[in-house]
Each structure stands twice: as structure tokens, then as C-alpha cells.
Amino acid sequence: FAVTRRELSSQAGASSTKDDDDDDLEGELSELEVHGSNDESDADLSDSKEDGGTEIDPTKKRSQGRRTDSELFKAILYAPGLSVDSALDKWVEEGKEISRKEISLAVRNLRNRKMYGRALQLFQWLESKKKLEFMENDYGSQLDLIAKLHGLPKAEKYIESVPESFRGELLYRTLLANCASQNNLSATEKVFNKMKDLDLPLSAFTFNQLLLLYKKIDKKKIADVLLLMEKENVKPSIFTYRILIDSKGRSNDIAGMEQVFETMKAQGIEPDIQIQALLARHYTSAGLKEKAEAILKEIEDSGLQIGPLTWDALVKLYIEAGEVEKADSVLQKAIQRNQLQPMFTTFMAILEEYAKKGDIHNSEKIFHRMRKAGYTSRISQFQVLIQAYINAKVPAYGIRERMKADNLFPNKTLANQLPLVDAFRNNAISDLLD
């Protein structure tokens, strides 16, 4: 990392191998989306499942409520033969309006479902039919989709076809983020250097992509990125601090983690729920139970709107601490607040813990809550529930009938479990499968 030349350069033989799968930050579940937003809400550490979408007008904030499906999206989704072009042609023939707002929502809906191919076809149709006056953000969105579907070389080539007046910072930071998310060290550094050669503005978002990449590949370079940020007079964002706190925590440098946290507060940045959850997670891993519990209580008592990923993190933190009853209480609080639906995996984490203990009452309670929350029964749920009965060494009366009522039939694993909880042990396994 040659700071004197304002360039990035890889050391010879630098490894591009990813760290362990759990190297990603808590909540790093959604695809990295860089277009359509000038803040960090579009990055992959965000708590909302809605944040993966595209906003055609970058000045407008997305609402944090429940997802709304656009009529244009539905027309594309249910198009016969999966023909996006025919669905859009029909839309126009019926005299329906194709507004920027409708396009924005449709693309967001498609992205949320990872239907990148259809989203790209929508943009290509809009461009070929001249139904939308493309702005820089629209080109950025199309670039991102091309990178996801066709790879980085095609994305780089696409930039050459974009009108020169729109080949700005947003396009290159979109390409940069895709390079970084694919752990492509040389491509990331090449794009970063290109941005500097073009004298494009360097934002905290841009540097954060480097930090995310180096956190996985070469943690020693993180300090160099921070020095360059200081030299370029780019202030760290709250997202920057999330990365740094997590990096210190994963290295078991609790003192360093706390120092980063204090520096952040000294800069006037208030910690958000994601940062608090990260602190609690790393305190738990370090065996600092009291510190972790203090932060968790602060989160619970905050009254702030918490998304499903953070609820999931809180529940699993309590489970890691051996407090399944507290995890259960936290989940119930999430449901009572009537916010976004808790994740399936959140329920399952608690169900599995109760099952390990042979706690049939609470296992059945969580099983019922999942159904009440709108989750249809799955084989995996019954496997865990039956394991609770096995561990409790008691029969599960009527369990086969319950499965049949849900139109579920035993797989091999479940077929092996069922005789262990059958009150009538003489039944043949073949009878269980009829």
C-alpha cells in the first residue's frame, strides 16, 4: 500500500484466500448494493432485509416498513414463459404508466428476491425503448447487475459504453464494491487507482470497501487505509467503525475494540444497534458475560425499532451464553412489538436448544409460535421437535398424524427418529411411511 504515490499496490504473493466463513460481520447477509444511495444504508452490514434494493432517485430514502410489491413487478414476475420484454410490451399496450417511482419499486422487488436477470432485462428494455431518461444512478444499477450476472470484465466493458458525462464516482464505486465483494484483490486495487487517476472524489463508502476486503485478506493493510483516509481528509462513517470494531473483536483484542468504540464516540458518532450487537457478541466470545449482558439490556430497553437480523443476533448471543430462557424472552418481546417478522432461523435456534434439554413443553411452545408467526411446517422443524421427545425419553403421541395434516412425509432421518418416540414400538418402519 504505497501511500506516497496515492496508489494501492499488492505485495508480491499476497493471498486472496478468504478467511473462515464466519469472518463476515453480524448481519452481513444481504447482497452489497452500492447504487442509489449516498449513505451507508446500502452496504452489507445493514440490519434491514429491505436494504438490498435499488432506489432510482438517490436522493430519496427508502421507507423501513413492510415490503410493498409494485404492479410492474407482478407483471414481470408472472409473465408467461419468463419473457420480461413481452410483459413490458403488454404493460404499455394496456396504457399503463411506467413512472420512475414504479420502476424503482419494481427493481427493488426484483433485487430483494435476487432476480437479477429480470432486473437487468427491465433496464435493457427501458433503454432500448427509450422509456426512461437514464441518469448516473440508472447506469450504476445496470453496471451492478452486469457484474453480478456476467462478471467483472463485462462490467468494466459496460462502463465504456456509458456516456462520458455519467462515468463518475458512482459508477466506479459500484464496480469497486463488486470487486471487493468477490474478494478480487488485484481488481479492487486497480479500480481504486483508476478512481484516483481520474481525480474522482473518494468517499467513506469507497474506503469501506477496501477495509472489508483487507479485513478478510490482509488485516495489516487496514492501518494503511485509515492513514490514507486521514490524508485525503475523509472522515470515517459509522460503517467504518463497525468494520474496525468487528476486526478488533475477532482478533480478541478487546482493549483495542473498546478504544475504537471510544474514538467513535469522541468523534460525535452515536453507536447504533448493530455496533452494540457487535460489542455484545465479542464480549460474549471473550467470556466477559457481565459486559455483554449490560449492552444487551441497553439494546432491549432502548425502545428503538430493531430489525430481524439484530433480533436474531441478540437471541443467539443469549444462547451462546447458555441462557435459552432469556433468548426465548427476547424473541417474545420482538413478536409483541409487532415489528418485522422474526427470522425462521431465530425460532429454530431456540427450538434446538430446548430440544437438546428434552424440554418438551417449551419445544412445543416455540413450534406453535412459528406457526402463529406464519411459517408453514417443515421437515426440519419436526426433526428437532421429535428430538426433544427422544431426549426426554417419552413418546410423541400423534406426531405422525400432525405431519400428515401438514402434508409432510418422513425423510430417511425422520423415519429413523420416529420409532424412538412411538408408543407402539412393534410398528414396522414401513408402516410409518404409508
What one-character-per-residue DSSP string does 271-300 give?
Answer: P-HHHHHHHHHHHHHTT-HHHHHHHHHHHH
310, part of any domain: no
Average confidence score pLDDT of the chain: 81
- Flag the least confident range among 85-89, 107-111, 178-182, 429-433: 429-433
222, part of any domain: no
pLDDT, average across residues 99-117: 92
427, part of any domain: yes
pLDDT for the residue numbered 402: 92
Number of domains in the chain: 1
pLDDT, average across residues 289-304: 80
417, part of any domain: yes
Distances from the Cα of 153 to the Cαs of 136, 175, 177, 178, 191, in angstroms?
A: 20, 10, 14, 11, 12
Grid cell of 373 as nine digits: 408467526
407, part of any domain: yes
| Residue 133 binned pLDDT confidence (cut-offs 50, 70, 90) | very high
318, part of any domain: no
Q: What is the pLDDT of residues 180-230, one digit of tens each?
A: 999 999 999 999 999 999 999 999 999 999 999 999 999 999 999 999 999
Domain span at 392 = 351-434
Q: Hey, which of 36-40, 239-243, 320-324 has the most confident mean pLDDT?
A: 239-243
| Residues across the chain | 434
DSSP 26-53: TTTTSPP--TT-SSGGGSTT-S-GGGGS
152, part of any domain: no
Grid cell of 265 as nine digits: 464516540
413, part of any domain: yes
Q: What is the pLDDT of residues 258-276, one digit of tens each?
A: 999 999 999 999 998 889 8
